[in-house]
Amino acid sequence: MLILDHVTKHYGEKTAVDDVSFSVTPGEIFSLIGSNGSGKTTLLKMIVGLLRPDRGVITVGQDDTTKEPLKTKSLIGYIPDEPAAWPGMTGEEFLHFVGALYDVDATTRTRKIRELLPLFRIDGSETDDFDGYSRGNKQKFSILAALLHEPKLLLVDEPIVGLDPESALVAKDIFTGFAERGGSVLLVTHTLPVAETISDRIGVLKHGKLISTGSLADIRERLHQTQSASLETVYNIITA
């Protein structure tokens, strides 16, 4: 569903993403972890089309994101690290707005919104102004908005920042359920316990380079660690 082939991105003289290659298959959750400034968000923004790679090819489905931008975007649900809406919108209007961008008809949008709101128990608050929501509730609406058009690939940048513990569990269930139904998930997070719990494979970024990939069990074995070693322990060894 997603292939990055030798992708590179520069900001002036700084190399933010340096010759990165990996893939995410249907039914898989792939987590990218790394320190601030390691290139994680830049990678996501290139995949979703907010930035263009300076070198390399990004394929979503069967198409190059730079050659077929609308077609590839239609397959993607994007949950950014900072949830935002057009000023003056209610939560419900925000969901309708995002659904309309993906050509989801009004009847279908209304039905799906009714189905999605109870997931986070925010039904009843959808007529409130989006700007007045807490950080956590904005995040909940952003997650639901990304699901409205039934994407094939979910791009998630720091999904549980601001969520209460109960809602964080709901979010994890949403992502794992999405993958179980055949969707692909690329998760960017600093929350290593989340990545450890739900990921099929993990990639470690450092200074823009992908320095390790594989299942946690495989990475433990390569590092001669026991199978009880936590992702935090493994990450610290890799990046030392």
Regarding whether 100 and 70 lie in a shared domain, the answer is no
Both 14 and 116 in one domain: the answer is no
Instruction: For residues 116 and 23, state if they share a domain.
Output: no
**Residues 8, 61: one domain?**
yes
Q: Over 80: is that where the pLDDT of 159 sits?
A: no
Q: In this predicted structure, what is the pLDDT of residue 83?
A: 86
Same-domain pairing of 70 and 159: yes
Q: How confident is the model at residue 21 (pLDDT cuts 50, 70, 90)?
A: very high
* Residues 149 and 104: beta-carbon distance below 8 Å: yes
- Average per-residue pLDDT in the chain? 94
Residue 230 domain-assigned (yes or no): no
Question: Which DSSP string corresponds to 88-103?
Answer: T-BHHHHHHHHHHHTT
113 phi, psi to nearest 5 deg: -60, -40
Number of separate domains in the chain: 2
* Nearest C-alpha neighbor of 198 from the set 222, 224, 180: 180
Judgement on whether residues 68 and 181 belong to the same structural domain of the protein: yes
The model's pTM: 0.93
**Domain end position, chosen among 108, 134, 150:** 150
Residues 232 and 168: their CA atoms lie apart, in Å, by 19
pLDDT (tens digit per residue) in 55-105: 999 999 999 999 999 999 999 999 998 888 888 899 999 999 999 999 999
Q: Compute CA distances 36 → 40, 65, 69, 136, 207, whole Å.
A: 8, 26, 28, 21, 9
Task: For residue range 198-224, list pLDDT tens digits in order.
Answer: 999 999 999 999 999 999 999 999 999
Both 114 and 181 in one domain: the answer is: no
Over residues 117-156, the pLDDT tens digits come to 999 999 999 999 999 999 999 999 999 999 999 999 999 9
Are 59 and 96 in a shared domain?
A: no
Q: In terms of residue numbers, what domain contains 12?
A: 1-75+152-211
d(CA 238, CA 203): 11
What is the C-alpha separation between 31 and 198, in angstroms, rounded? 9
Residue type (1 letter), 175 = F
Residue of 18, 62, 58 lying closest to 37 (CA atoms):
18
Task: With respect to residue 129, please indicate whether it lies within any of the assigned structural domains.
Answer: yes
Task: State whether 132 and 181 are in the same domain.
Answer: no
Q: Are residues 141 and 206 in the same domain?
A: no
Q: Say if residue 134 is exposed, middle or buried (CB neighbours under 10 Å; 0-12, 13-18, 19+).
A: exposed
11 lies in the same domain as 52? yes
Q: Residue 16: pLDDT band by 50, 70, 90 thresholds?
A: very high
- The pLDDT confidence band at residue 114, using thresholds 50, 70 and 90, is very high
pLDDT at 20 over 90: yes
Residue 240 lies in a domain: no
What is the SS3 assignment for 64?
strand
Domain boundary among 150, 171, 187: 150
Is the residue at 2 inside a domain?
yes
Average pLDDT of the residues in 34-47: 92
pLDDT digits (tens, 9 = 90+) for 180-194: 999 999 999 888 988
Do residues 158 and 121 share a domain? no
